[in-house]
Amino acid sequence: MKILVIGKGGREHALASALAASPRCTQLFCAPGNPGMGCIGTNVNISDSDTEAMVQFARQEGIDLAVIGPESALAAGMADALEEAGIRVFGPSRAAAQVESSKDFAKEIMKKYGIPTAAWHTFDDAEAARAWVQAQGAPIVIKEDGLKAGKGVTVAMDLDTALEAVDAAFAQEGGRVVIEEYLEGFEYSLIALVHDGLVIPLETAQDHKRVGDGATGPNTGGMGSYSPVRKITPEILEETMKTVMEPMAAALVSEGVPFTGFLYGGLMLTEDGIKVIEFNARFGDPEAEVILPRLESDFVEAILSVMDGRPVSLQWSPKTCHGVVLASTGYPAGSTKGAPIEIADTDAQIFHMGTRNEDGQLLTDGGRVLMAVTMEDTLEEAFAHTYRELDSIRCPELFYRTDIGRKDMD
């Protein structure tokens, strides 16, 4: 099969690696890809936002399966356009992708179908939003509506921070916010392969969103992760499927927007049970980089089975996969591009998130730049291994958190 991976980040690098490992994959294209993806497939110089060019390439090349990584491409209708052109695609339609592109849409679906989530109100008016925040007090959560690349969320522990977040949201064109109650508990991610009402769970992972050690500073796209999450027992996983993932897939079918692709549940295990923090319409990043290396089943076969409506039993390594993101100076407010990177010999798997090659030199090219991943029998061993391997990556403009996974080791 000729397979096309659409995107250029660490998630797409992980997807490409897993797809390329399948005997079903005879040729792999990555559009636009990155330097790491170019080592396992053929990079194609087409932007993941250029729907017309992507469709034309897929037609000309005779692509058998397209897998879409970025949420922006899904929200823009990339899957719709490819399907209309006769290309089989694993990724939701623009309408179904609203589970991520519109927080209010997702919340209304959860309310209608009884899927547990934090209480919330949506505001299109800044003064009304400020008045609500002042009446509720802190802690409180302010979410900018729309696609925010894992950012745009402020967990405000005091009133001033909450009001500043509201003002920042409405300073943007088309400002709109979803204001939620603050949830306390243990956070985890569950991603599933979904087609209509069929939901096949992958393994659990835990992302670390805050930029600084000890979960301090602003939210990012994710500074590291590990899989599996041992605090999430098989019983909790079963309950998550029954109360969250399966009902959401069924709800989207009932609403006339059936979902095909990777459905991401960002979840909180609270004293009152499991509650949804958010849904995403694609594989998590950096969760993909620690979940997919543990998959021992044929990834292509699994996707095709789900798309054909056939349940599939996935096999996983019992080991723990642990990864740390190296981000560029200034992230998440900005980034430093063009800094040279040297990677010495390492036995870590290195996923490229924001890099480019220029005259044979690897350079930084984004906020999150690389992710180093190792796999060991235990989280403790993998934690130590990953941090040892970071010494092999040299770039003065990169930084990382030193506590990814530590909380689950206490």
pLDDT digits (tens, 9 = 90+) for 124-165: 888 999 998 998 899 999 988 866 555 578 888 999 999 998
pLDDT tens per residue, range 18-29: 999 999 999 999
19 CB contacts (<8 Å, ≥6 apart)? 3, 5, 25, 28, 67, 299, 300
CATH (residue range 119-181): 3.30.1490.20
8 A C-beta contact, residue 62 and residue 2: yes
Mean pLDDT confidence for 353-379:
97
- Quick check: 370 pLDDT over 70? yes
132's enclosing H/E stretch is helix 126-136
Helix axes 126-136, 159-170, angle to 10 degrees: 170
Q: What percent of the chain has pLDDT over 90?
A: 86
Mean pLDDT confidence for 294-299:
98
- Quick check: 232 pLDDT over 80? yes
Cis bond before residue 228 (omega within 30° of 0): yes
pLDDT tens per residue, range 80-107: 999 999 999 999 999 999 999 988 899 9
Q: How confident is the model at residue 212 (pLDDT cuts 50, 70, 90)?
A: very high
- Quick check: 371 pLDDT over 70? yes
- Quick check: 173 pLDDT over 90? no
CA 36, 41, 45, 49 dihedral sign is negative
8 A C-beta contact, residue 410 and residue 346: no
Is it true that domain 194-307 has CATH number 3.40.50.1970? no
Q: What percent of the chain has pLDDT over 70?
A: 99
Q: What are phi and psi of 133, to 5 degrees?
A: -60, -45
Question: What per-residue confidence (pLDDT) applies to 147?
Answer: 67
- Quick check: 175 pLDDT over 80? no
8 A C-beta contact, residue 88 and residue 297: no
Mean pLDDT confidence for 105-122:
94
- Within the chain, which residue ranges are assigned CATH 3.30.1490.20? 119-181
pTM of the predicted model as reported, rounded to 2 decimal places = 0.93
- Within the chain, which residue ranges are assigned CATH 3.40.50.20? 2-94
- Within the chain, which residue ranges are assigned CATH 3.30.470.20? 194-307
pLDDT tens per residue, range 233-290: 999 999 999 999 999 999 999 999 999 999 999 999 999 999 999 999 999 999 999 9
Question: What per-residue confidence (pLDDT) applies to 204?
Answer: 98
Nearest CA among 345, 348, 364 for reference residue 356: 364
**Pairing mode of beta strands 349-352, 210-212:** unpaired
Beta-carbon count within 10 A of 81 CB: 18
Question: Domain 2-94, what architecture?
Answer: 3-Layer(aba) Sandwich (3.40)
8 A C-beta contact, residue 159 and residue 138: yes
The class of domain 320-409 in CATH terms is alpha beta
Q: What is the rounded CA–CA span in Å between residue 18 and residue 30?
A: 13
- Within the chain, which residue ranges are assigned CATH 3.90.600.10? 320-409
212's tokens: 């600084």
